[in-house]
Amino acid sequence: MGKILGIIGGGQLGMMLTESAKKMPEHISKIIVLDPTENCPAAQVGAEQIVADFKDEKAIQELAEKSDIITYEIESGDSDVLKSVESKAEINPSPETLKMIQDKFLQKTFLSENKIPTPEFIKIGSLDDLQQGLKKFGYPSLLKARRDAYDGRGNFKVDSPEDNQKAFDYFKGQNIMLEKFVPFKMEVSVIAARNTKGQIKTYPLVENIHEHNILRETIAPARVSKEISDKAEEIAKDVMTVLKGAGVFGIEMFVTTDDQIVINEIAPRVHNSGHHTLQSSETSQFEQHIRAILGLELGSVKLLHTTIMYNILGSKDFQGEYHPLEISEKNVFLKMYGKKISKPLRKLGHLNLVANQEESIENLIQKLTGLKEKTHILALK
Ligand code: AMP
């Protein structure tokens, strides 16, 4: 008999996890998601849903009672509540790992204690700390909220001494840290998996292009030398070796101007930069995550086809219902997430553009330029 899988969060990641889990009926008999939006994306593809806030203690308890194993698609869950229901359901990645990763300062401390390269950083408790830190790191540096910050929203770039007070005041009441600015030539990531038995596999390095601090494009594989991709993969393996807990992790890194690799941050979940694996790889990151948390042998991470993933985002100038997109072209795989309402820059779907045999990345980039026109989100009149 398969197990009942509980997922905290039923957005697009929960949706694609649900779709993968449904293809494994011998291992998973039912999927239940906890999400505040009625008929969330995961519910639309066959997950049962508990409608409640991600941090609702009672709802998490209910999910634990109904599930054999719990995982999550968002990292902002309440790790203490999760810890308290561990006797009812197995939770992966573990609440301890989640707690450490949720706090950027604890995460970077953990990484540097394990000799894994990160930008230099310090904890900031006062304006004086900030001034001392800036003396050490110089300008620009980044002041960051330690928790609940994503898509660049919790960062303040301090460009000159005149910014110090303003930057410090911006984070009133929040725990913060200062990070040395890393001059990078590329942002990259590794999707890495570790199963409950300790088996580790890493997907090939990919290149990430951001717009407005949101991931827009992922190019698989990254356009870097073999030396750099080997180095990044090795660092990702080191991270997986020291982290407790099982599952897929998205490890975001910078390739610096002098070809060093440093880790920006780790997401304890399937990751937007891994969506290409749905078409490019033998095992998608979603199937891999389920294999990892169930303790199954991990699938092959081989990249079979060069692929570009392009995120379809809500237009900046409107909020409301939108025209459905239709693209039927060879080697283009459009995935919409079933969100009824578009909001500025909201992730509504993605497409994977897959290369023909021998087709170059440059050619694929050219093709994508033409396709982008067809992905504009327009208001439904
Ligand atoms: P974060 O939300 O911390 O991942 O940061 C959002 C974006 O800010 C990253 O994708 C980078 O483009 C940039 N960034 C973050 N940390 C640094 C850093 N130490 N040096 C340079 N750029 C950074």
Are residues 152 and 279 located together in one domain of the fold? no
Burial 119-132, CB ≥16 within 10 A → b, else e: bbbbebeeeebbee
Domain-embedded: residue 101: no
pLDDT band of 172, cuts 50, 70, 90: confident
Domain-embedded: residue 106: no
CATH number of the domain where residue 83 is located: 3.40.50.20
**pLDDT, average across residues 350-354:** 98
**Of 44, 75, 91, the domain-final residue:** 91
Averaged pLDDT score across all residues of the chain: 96
**pLDDT, average across residues 57-66:** 97
Atom of ligand 1 nearest to the CA of 252: 4
Are residues 276 and 149 located together in one domain of the fold? no
Atom of ligand 1 nearest to the CA of 180: 19
What is the tally of structural domains in the chain? 3
pLDDT band of 151, cuts 50, 70, 90: low
**Of 164, 180, 196, the domain-final residue:** 180
Are residues 156 and 215 located together in one domain of the fold? no
Structure confidence at residue 150 (pLDDT): 66
Helix boundaries (H) for the chain: 12-22, 41-44, 57-66, 79-84, 95-102, 104-113, 127-137, 164-170, 226-242, 277-280, 285-294, 361-372
Instruction: Please give the Cα distance from 84 to 103 (Å, whole number).
Output: 19
Instruction: Please choose, from the candidates 143, 175, 149, the residue with its C-alpha nearest in 3D space to the C-alpha of residue 76.
Output: 149
Give the residue, by CA position, lying nearest to ligand 1 atom 10: 213
**pLDDT, average across residues 109-135:** 97
Are residues 216 and 338 located together in one domain of the fold? yes
Domain-embedded: residue 113: no
Atom of ligand 1 nearest to the CA of 181: 20
Instruction: Please give the Cα distance from 291 to 294 (Å, whole number).
Output: 5
Instruction: Please give the Cα distance from 343 to 27 (Å, whole number).
Output: 37
- Angle (nearest 5°) at CA 11 between 295 and 345: 130
**pLDDT, average across residues 40-46:** 98
Predicted TM-score (pTM) of the model is: 0.97
Are residues 221 and 340 located together in one domain of the fold? yes
Give the residue, by CA position, lying nearest to ligand 1 atom 13: 152
- By residue range, what is the domain housing residue 270? 184-375
CATH number of the domain where residue 271 is located: 3.30.470.20
pLDDT above 70 covers a percentage of the chain that reads: 99
Instruction: Please give the Cα distance from 181 to 188 (Å, whole number).
Output: 16
Domain-embedded: residue 105: no
Please identify which residue in the block is written with the tokens 């283009």. Answer: 332
**Of 91, 111, 129, the domain-final residue:** 91
27 against 77, higher pLDDT: 27
Give the dihedral of Cα atoms 273, 274, 276, 278; nearest 10 deg: -150
Are residues 331 and 193 located together in one domain of the fold? yes
Are residues 163 and 190 located together in one domain of the fold? no
Are residues 217 and 309 located together in one domain of the fold? yes
Q: Is the CB of 49 under 6 A from ligand 1?
A: no
Assess whether the previous peptide bond of 95 is cis (omega < 30° from 0). Answer: no
* DSSP of 64-109: HHH-SEEEES-S-S-HHHHHHTTTTSEESS-HHHHHHHHSHHHHHH
CATH number of the domain where residue 174 is located: 3.30.1490.20
Report whether 211 contacts 315 (CB < 8 A): no
DSSP conformation class of 256: E
Are residues 254 and 322 located together in one domain of the fold? yes
Of 257, 264, 266, 273, the one to substitute when testing ligand 1's pocket (max ligand atoms within 8 A of C-beta) is 264
Are residues 139 and 154 located together in one domain of the fold? yes
- 286 C-alpha to ligand 1 centroid (Å): 26
Instruction: Please give the Cα distance from 69 to 246 (Å, whole number).
Output: 12
Domain-embedded: residue 102: no
Domain-embedded: residue 110: no
Of 107, 108, 155, 176, the one to substitute when testing ligand 1's pocket (max ligand atoms within 8 A of C-beta) is 155
Domain-embedded: residue 55: yes
Longest CA–CA span in the chain (Å) reads: 64
DSSP conformation class of 163: G
Are residues 173 and 194 located together in one domain of the fold? no
Domain-embedded: residue 276: yes
Are residues 27 and 43 located together in one domain of the fold? yes
**pLDDT, average across residues 278-286:** 98
DSSP conformation class of 375: G
pLDDT at 366 over 90: yes
